[in-house]
Amino acid sequence: MTLGGSDERWFALRPDVPPLRSTFAAISHATGRDNFSVIYDLGSREFQRQNTIKQLRKRLGSLKANGMQLGGTLVTDPTITEWPDLASSELLRTAGFFPANGGLVLQFIIVQRYAEGALQLEGFSVNLVHPDNANALKREGEQQ
């Protein structure tokens, strides 16, 4: 399946692919309401095998402990530093950052897989970082 490769104009026409907003809505709901099953349910079978709800709660607890409010990710466009490209892999990887509170940015990597007729969460990483570090996304640590 081809979703348009890394053509930024195509992505702008289809902001729902990959569904970054729904992924961040799930993370926001999870951290705000302490309901991590919503992230778990978005995951592929492999993601669910590798992550329990308890592990997701532990991994995302630092965002909640730092008072990070993710509602802004639903109304603010991210800066994309790595556009998705399915031509090279079965995984769809998108990386970038959103502005955050305290002069920081919310850096993210979202990895999805097309399975069972839908894009499913395969892995993700979200971190609060200084803006100077936001463009230095690393390929390791994709699965948080």
φ/ψ of residue 23, rounded to 5: -65, -45
Q: What is the mean pLDDT of the chain?
A: 76
Ranges of each domain in the chain: 8-133
Share of the chain above pLDDT 90, in %: 20
35 contact partners, CB below 8 Å, separation of at least 6: 29
pLDDT tens for 34-87 read 899 999 999 999 999 999 999 999 888 877 777 667 777 777 888 888 888 765
CATH for the 8-133 domain, from 1.10.3470, 3.10.450, 3.90.350, 3.60.21: 3.10.450
d(CA 131, CA 97): 9
d(CA 133, CA 38): 29
Confidence label for 136 from pLDDT (cuts 50, 70 and 90) = low
Angle at Cα 27 formed by Cα 8 and Cα 138, nearest 5°?
Answer: 55
Distance (Å) of CA 12 to CA 4, 6, 16: 11, 11, 9
- Amino acid 43: pLDDT: 93
